[in-house]
Structure 1
Amino acid sequence: MKVYIETYGCALNKGDSYIMMTLLKDRGHDIVDSYNQADVIVLNTCAVRLETEERMKQRIKELKKIGKKLIIAGCLVSSQPALVMSLAPESSIVGAQSIDKIVEAVESNKRGIFLEESKELVTPRIFEGKISIIPIADGCAGDCNFCITKLARKKLRSYPPRNIVNAVKEAVQKGAVEIELTAQDTAAYGLDINYNLVELLKEILEIEGNYMIRIGMMTPELAFKQIDEILEIIKDKRVYKFLHLPVQSGDDRVLKLMNRKYTVDEYRELVKEIRDKIPIVNITTDIIIGHPGEDDEAFQNTINLIKEIKFERIHLAMYSIRPNTRSASMPQVPDSIKKERMKIANEVYEEVAYSVHSEYLGSNALVLTTELGRKGSIIGRTINYIPVVIKDYDKLGEWINVKITEASFFDLRGKFIQ
């Protein structure tokens, strides 16, 4: 069969789609680039925010109208199966922790409901371009009050180290130059199998080849427990000097309401230790604006933290109620106030990120080219994972010298140096 897979959400979701592609190709099915070519359409959904859920609902309605076999997979299915079944009563559904059932869903002549946890964790053997996304764990060890993903991926399940190492080895042999190790919380890797992230990274780095590892998001409290060992790993020339540490709020009272397991001062201490040992490190974070309990003082504390720490990148999100989460039952911040705070936070973030990027203007940078950009450009990454848009070079998978000529809050622009 010809199968089209459309993916929304985080890197873990993208990794799940590559796993589904791997399983389907192993059975002799073809993966196609558009639903026009397909016999079967698979929609891999996200449910992290209300606006995302609305987009998913709209997309289900649009794809239903095409009249082809439709399978709905991913986090919206696992967190709100009744909603998905009411929107598409004739479609098969496959939960976020049930993706090994995708073959059965595609090949069956009947509608299937697959929500049981997979018995086997499969690593992907497919990637696109020069970037291979490899999930290392599914689920997390936390219990944040705002999070619907915890309902979709209920249990922490770490992939066997040997499977991950083999997946990386195969990806490198096939030409991948960037390996994205992804999970809901990479620092939680191995808690369920008496192993840990550092041991896994040491095994991976025994693989020879021209590649860079990007370590995915990790919660501050679990990062703290192994930070010295993690930083020793990051010093390796094949690991991006990059850490994604979601702070979520700059106010201790709000962090407590969120059920986060650290204080703002502990987060500051973590960042200081990281920067003392690796000064060029890129610290990226996530922040939720307008979570229940966020008053003017709490919001200002968050703004102050953004200015103080000078994050290179922030994934800012306006809080939205997610069903069946504890935060949904708390007294809510009015939408008008959330929108105003979001506007202020975005402005501050753009100022801070632009000032960080402006420090690179006029300098030369070593950049690994990894992706096609727009209008004939390509995108490379510095050693600390800042994106650089290059218009006068066209080869991917190469380390090149670039003169940084422009900066925005989002990226850098550069010219190839012969």
Structure 2
Amino acid sequence: MKVFIESYGCTFNQADGQIIAGNLLENDIDLVESIEEADVVIVNTCYVKLPTEDKMVFRIQKLQKEFPDKKIIVGGCMVEIDPEKLEKIGPNVSWIGPHQLNKSASVVNATYCGEVIRETGFSKDSKVGVPKVSDDGLIHILQICEGCLGACTFCCTRFARGPLNSYPISDIVAEAKKAIENGACEIQLTAQDTAAFGRDSGEKLSDLIKEVANLEGDFRVRVGMMHPKNILNNVDEIIDAMKHPKVYDFIHLPVQSGSDKVLSDMRRGHNISQYKEIVSKFKKEIPDITLAVDIIVGYPTESDDDFDKTVELLRQIKPSLIHLSKYQHRIGAISSSLKEIPPKVMKERSKFLSEIKEEITKEENVEFLDSIQNVLVVEKGSKGGYIAKTNNYIPVIVHDVELGTFVDVKITEATSTYLKSELL
């Protein structure tokens, strides 16, 4: 029996796909690199946005149509968020919920034999230290906790990931140590909210960062998304930990809106004054830090004035990375009961904010021109060359280098999303 796995969505879900693969190999089930070779296909789904939902549905239906002889198993967030739709489009499809990955081999074996198996429901099983299979030995994704403490009105992911479940620091550090010894040069600490780490176990994110960064080896640590409300009471300690030379000067701090009214409607648990205070502290203590933000355009209660406040905030804090999403209803989300804003208004706001994004990020990246940067080469470029990361996690195109090495480059060109360079 041969199995093909395809994973979609966030870094955390990519790591789930690696765990599924590890569980299969541990149970002597072969993995293949193409659907054509496979007897069983696992689709590890993402369900965060409506376009992604449509993509997942289309993908599953396409596989059923084009490969009727192959068994299909669906994993990922769709399993827990929308089982009704999944049952409708795939009544003969097996499921593996994101908390049941240790049962992957048994689900695959049963499905291959013609059974329809659905393993769902929450679990406190750890995802650290379990067998994993990755196509990339240089970048190691390390899941530090699963679930969140939030109640955001627009989110459906929390229905799939459940309440917060932090993994022990000792186990996380042990996995990081092993990955570095096996050649990893970038450790990505990931979660639905890394700032929530330890709130249920009594441990601290700042201690975790320091312990991983203090491991022997030449590598970098990237700390994943942090919810502003959960960083409020621990800002100074986290900043101190992130000053470690092996930690990227990078923070992903979603704000979603520049309006306190909209943030309250979203039940985000923070206000703009608090958000700006966090950003100010980071920029004061780590001047070169890259700030990445998330913005939801057109939340149902967003007025023109609320939107203007979002534009004003972005121009004030000048993020180097801006992730824009048009608001769309999600199954089970509280805000789905609200009336959406008119499509024309949504389109106009999204277009305007995209232009602002281009302007701000290009302006930030231009400051790198002619500078000398020590960069870590992490992956091959899709259009040739290699992609490296500066110490503040800005992607740089480089040529004639080796993967996994640190090199000095001169920045020769800046776009709104990446830099180009010449090797020194």
Normalised to the residue count of structure 2, the TM-score between the two structures is 0.96
> Is the 8 Å Cα contact of residues 125 and 170 (structure 1) preserved in structure 2?
no
For the pair 1:413 / 2:413, whether they are aligned, the reply is no
* Structure 1 position 267 matched with structure 2 position 284: no
Q: Deviations over 1:115-160 (max 9, x none)?
A: 1223522335433331111111111011100000011112211123
Residue ranges of structure 2 left out of the alignment (5+ in a row): none
- Separation (CA, whole Å) in 1 of partners of 2:109 and 2:172: 28
CA shift in 2, pair 1:414/1:35, >3 Å: same
101-110 vs 115-124, greater mean Cα deviation: 115-124
One-letter amino acid of the counterpart of residue 224, structure 2: G
Check whether the contact 1:97–1:117 (CA below 8 A) recurs between aligned residues. yes
Count the aligned residue pairs: 416
Aligned residue identity for 2:8? Y
Alignment map for 1:11-410 (pairs within 5 Å):
11-65=11-65, 66-67=67-68, 68-108=70-110, 109=113, 110-123=115-128, 125-129=132-136, 130-390=138-398, 392-410=399-417
Q: Distance in 2 between matches of 1:211 and 1:269?
A: 30
State which drifts further: 251-260 or 99-108.
99-108
Contact preservation (8 Å) 2:122, 2:162: no
Contact 1:125/1:171 (CA < 8 Å) preserved in 2? no
Q: Is contact 2:21–2:133 with CA below 8 Å preserved after alignment?
A: yes
User: Match of 2:244, SS?
Assistant: coil
**Cα RMSD for the two superposed structures:** 1.2
CA distance in 1, matches of 2:401, 2:407: 11
For 2:197 and 2:31, locate their aligned partners in 1 and report how far apart those are by CA, in whole Å.
30
Q: Distance in 2 between matches of 1:211 and 1:3?
A: 33
Distance 1:316 1:149 in 2: 18
Task: State the 1:317 CA deviation.
Answer: 0.2
Supply the AA of the counterpart residue of 1:311: P
Measure the CA separation in 1 of the matches of 2:40 and 2:407.
41
Residues of 1 paired with 2:170 and 2:256: CA distance?
33
- Quick one: which amino acid aligns to residue 32 of structure 2? V
Instruction: Indicate conservation of the 8 Å contact 2:362/2:417, yes or no.
Output: yes
- Name the SS for the 1:76 alignment partner: helix
CA positional deviation for 1:196: 1.9
Q: For 2:262, what is the secondary structure of its paired residue?
A: helix
Work out the percentage of aligned pairs sharing the same amino acid. 40
| CA deviation after TM superposition for structure 1 residue 190, in Å | 1.5
Query: After the TM superposition, which of the residue ranges 117-126 and 399-408 deviates more from structure 2?
Result: 117-126
Kept in 1: contact 2:100–2:120 (CA 8 A):
yes
| Alpha-carbon distance change, 141 to 119 in structure 1, aligned in 2, over 3 angstroms | closer
Question: 2:270 is matched by which residue type in structure 1?
Answer: Y
In 1: Cα distance, 2:25 partner to 2:171 partner: 18
- SS state at 1:226 partner: helix
The unaligned stretches of length 5 or more in structure 1 are none
Is 1:312–1:356's contact at 8 Å kept on the other side of the alignment? yes
**1:33-59 deviation line (CA, Å, top 9, x unaligned):** 211121211101111111110011000
| Contact 2:299–2:340 under 8 Å retained in 1 | yes
Q: Which amino acid is the alignment partner of residue 10 of structure 1?
A: C
CA drift of 1:280 comes to: 0.3
